[in-house]
Amino acid sequence: MNATQINQNILDQAYAWVVALRGENVSEKSLEDFSVWITSDESHQSAWDQALDLWETMGAVSHLPVDELLADDQVIPAQSSKAPADIQSSEGIGLLEKLQSLWKPMALAFSLAVVGFIAVFNFQPQGENYAAATGQYLAVTLADGTVVELNTNSEISVSLHEDFREIELIKGEVFFTVAKDKDRPFIVDVSGATVRAVGTAFNIYRVTDQSAIVSVTEGIVRVEEAGGSSVTAAQSQLLTVDEALTIDAVRGLSEAKTKNQQFTAWRQGQLLFDNTSIGDAVDMLNRYLHKKVVVADDVSQSIKLSGTFSSRQKRETLAAVAQALGLELTPRGDKWLLSQPNP
């Protein structure tokens, strides 16, 4: 019988029997009455199994005197459906009264134990990795309700603990919309620093193993160096809405600056360039391409690029970028070559 189909009153009787029979000095009369109860209806056996399983799960029952009774198939069938209500103790006190005084605090403790068990289970550190391939966008909702959006060629490792939430940005770029939970700080480890937030939204781009850019779109985050030396204390800065800074494992944290849309335009499938050097522009383009772009030696590195392009329509974007720069784009094996046009 399914547990959900068992009458609650019968379940209560089963729990009462577990309590009544948990002692070592259980009378023969109690065992006989239990035999009558458990054999009087199929649902009683199911309720008993459920109650016993739960208590054993919590470690509350190590042995019951009815174990042998149930094991040898010699339980006497009967018609009674009573809980241990009219069983008398040797002192003449109604066992129901004794059970009620014992059962209520034990039931509360049991309930709290079950809740605690579930909570511990839910908050066990969960080492989950999520990755977006080159040219891919990936959105994931974590168990705590936080939404993470991974840009092209990005990867994170997620560990949700009971008292804090920790993310490692292994590579690439991620936008976090953090679920509010004041009791569990949200921490991102990246390029020798940590970014801490509670109920906020921010973007982190890990440029290299040694550097990253953090920008905030909602709330406040604190950016801290992983640790200071014996001479220099670790730096720490607060970032508010529309501010950004650069993390550098060697030079430390930059001053917070007002950010522009360039940092989060990728979420709308856009690439924003604002007087960007050709070298930096190509680096950004290549993040989305399997077939990378290289710049020919005859192209001046002083050329700048401005404009908004699609990160999804890659061929069209490459053609548009080449046109905007006044350069020629030609395939060269497994690469694209940007060069000066032939005279």
Tens-place pLDDT, residues 35-90: 778 877 878 888 887 777 665 544 444 444 444 444 443 333 333 445 554 433 33
Average pLDDT over residues 296-323: 93
Residues 202 and 295 in one domain: no
Residues 57 and 89 in one domain: yes
The mean-pLDDT minimum among 27-36, 179-188, 328-337 falls in 27-36
Average pLDDT over residues 232-237: 66
Query: Which run of H or E residues covers position 335?
Result: strand 335-339
Q: Where among 103, 122, 141 does a domain terminate?
A: 122
At residue 80, the pLDDT reads: 42
Does 107 have pLDDT greater than 70? Answer: no
Residues 139 and 250 in one domain: yes
CA neighbor of 142 nearest in space, from 115, 166, 117: 166
Residues 78 and 37 in one domain: yes
Cβ pair 219, 197 in contact under 8 A: yes
At residue 4, the pLDDT reads: 45
At residue 232, the pLDDT reads: 41
Residues 247 and 306 in one domain: no
Q: Where among 56, 91, 122 does a domain terminate?
A: 122
Average pLDDT over residues 323-331: 94
- Tokens, residue 31: 């065992």
Q: Residue 262 in 3-state DSSP?
A: helix
The mean-pLDDT minimum among 46-60, 64-78, 126-140, 160-174 falls in 64-78
* Structural domain boundaries enclosing 116: 3-122
Which residues, at least 6 apart from 9, have a Cβ–Cβ distance to it below 8 Å? none
CA neighbor of 172 nearest in space, from 286, 314, 49: 286
DSSP labels, 90-152: TTS-BHHHHHHHHHHHHHHHHHHHHHHHHHHHHTS---EEEEE-TT--EEEE-TTS-EEEE-T
- Tokens, residue 320: 């548009």
Cβ pair 296, 325 in contact under 8 A: no
At residue 223, the pLDDT reads: 92
- Tokens, residue 266: 């990728």
Q: Residue 174 in 3-state DSSP?
A: strand
Residues 148 and 240 in one domain: yes
* Whole-number Cα distances in Å, 80 to 45, 236, 274: 13, 72, 85
SS3 content of the chain, % helix, strand, coil (to 5): 30, 30, 40
The mean-pLDDT minimum among 164-173, 196-205, 258-267 falls in 258-267
Q: Residue 16 in 3-state DSSP?
A: helix
Q: Where among 261, 284, 318 does a domain terminate?
A: 261
Residues 74 and 19 in one domain: yes
- Tokens, residue 159: 């560990």
Which residues, at least 6 apart from 47, have a Cβ–Cβ distance to it below 8 Å? 6, 10, 11, 13, 14
Residues 315 and 206 in one domain: no
Cβ pair 48, 67 in contact under 8 A: no
Residues 248 and 279 in one domain: no
Number of domains in the chain: 3
- Tokens, residue 255: 């001053």
Q: Which residue has the tokens 């470690």?
A: 59
Average pLDDT over residues 90-104: 41
Q: How confident is the model over 251-281, as pLDDT tens digits?
A: 888 888 887 677 899 999 999 999 999 999 9
At residue 262, the pLDDT reads: 77
Q: How confident is the model over 6-40, as pLDDT tens digits?
A: 777 787 788 788 777 765 566 667 777 777 788 77
At residue 85, the pLDDT reads: 45
CATH code of 305's domain: 3.55.50.30
Average pLDDT, the chain: 77
At residue 141, the pLDDT reads: 94
Residues 233 and 311 in one domain: no
CATH code of 164's domain: 2.60.120.1440
Residues 185 and 281 in one domain: no
Residues 147 and 256 in one domain: yes
User: 114 pLDDT band (50/70/90 cuts)?
Assistant: very low
